[in-house]
Amino acid sequence: MKALYITSVEPYSGKTALCLALGKQMQQDGYRIGYLKPMSTLPWRSPTGVLADEDAMFVQSMLGLETDLAALCPVVVTPSSLRERLKGIVHDDPLQKIEQAAEAGGKGKDAMLVEGGASLREGYAMGLSNLRVAERLGAPAIVLVKYRGEMQLVDDAYTARFRLGEQLHGVILNRVPDEAAEYVGEYARPYLEENGIHVLGSMPSVPRLSALSVGELLDLLDAQVLTKYVDPNALVEAFSVGAMTADVALSRFRRQTNKAVITGGDRTDIQLAALETSTVVLILTGNLHPSPLIIQQAESLNVPILLVKDNTMETTERIDRAYGKTRLGQPEKLETFIQLLAANVDIKAIYAAINLV
């Protein structure tokens, strides 16, 4: 079985997105692809009652795979299963379950994409470190390194080599801002290559990839739509809280494009300022209905209004927890990521790692 192990230095670095985009690219190139997420630390129960991983199910669906949901993620760590493992109550070998799932999922496939731990620290308590799983599956590892700063980028790449050793095939630098592109190209990348760390690519930061869609906001906030028009696939790239005077708000709103404005339902002045600028959606808090004139104006501009029960602070906290952690469920976002991958990552070197020709 040809398998490629994909993990990241820290959570929310784009690991699931890379699995999905790489899988799509492989399918476009004519390869039959399997997918496996060996371990999940975020238990999720499917509508049919199966304990699984929601992200794994999402990738399975987007790639059109027919893998059994339970076999897609053979080890789902719950609080009780962790405690049983630590107490020595359970003696089964989770690695064996993973190996069996990989063999079953890889039958008839040209390659298996294995989505590893959310970070290089994950899995040790269960005996399922990234290195141990990758070694057992004989899978070369690719590590996503998210840009956090000049020195940290290099340190994180070294951390990947330290944790994975010879199992590391290479790193992909992700979410590199425009202002750091020169540093990465002239200093960090050559230095890492000279010191034996293969840099497979450097992907720029694209705000729309971390955007939340209006549909995701609807679900996240349990919101009520007050307008006739709503496009669930419309993307929100920035958020602004309207808790200032109307003049200050208007000045700030003009500097932000494709944004959502969060404000109280009784702040008519802020709502009007938002509608005068590039606003994708208006989120009104406190379960306070706006003036009928605001609804009429929003409908004339095709700007949906969402009404939520929480106050502004609670609403903002909910969004903060979700922002930057979204999936590539919108066709536009998925296509953008695939194009970024093709333009900035050495796909041939990835194929070569698992002997795909």
pLDDT at 326: 53
Instruction: Give the pLDDT confidence score for residue 51 in this predicted structure.
Output: 87
CATH 3.40.1390.20 in the chain: give the residue spans. Answer: 212-322
> CA 257 to CA 210: how far, in whole Å?
15
The residue among 28, 26, 6 whose CA lies nearest residue 17 is 6
Domain 212-322 in CATH 3.40.1390.20? The answer is yes
Pick from 190, 201, 185, 283: nearest CA to 14: 201
The stretches in the chain having pLDDT less than 70 are 323-331
Model pLDDT, residue 1:
72
H-type helices in 29-149, by residue range? 54-63, 69-72, 79-87, 94-106, 130-137
- Beta strands in the chain, from DSSP E residues, in sequence order: 3-8, 33-36, 39-40, 44-45, 51-52, 75-76, 111-115, 141-146, 168-176, 199-204, 212-213, 224-225, 235-236, 238-241, 259-264, 279-285, 305-307
- Residue 324 is predicted with a pLDDT of 59
Q: Which CATH architecture has domain 3-206+328-353?
A: 3-Layer(aba) Sandwich (3.40)
In the chain, CATH 3.40.50.300 covers: 3-206+328-353
Q: Tokens at residue 131, please?
A: 């290195």
Question: What radius of gyration do the chain's Cα atoms show?
Answer: 23
* Largest distance between two CA atoms of the chain: 66
CB burial of residue 50 (10 Å; 0-12, 13-18, 19+):
middle
Q: Give the tens place of pLDDT for each residue, 80-132.
A: 999 999 998 877 889 999 999 999 999 999 999 999 998 999 999 999 999 99
pLDDT of residue 42: 87
How many residues appear in the chain? Answer: 357
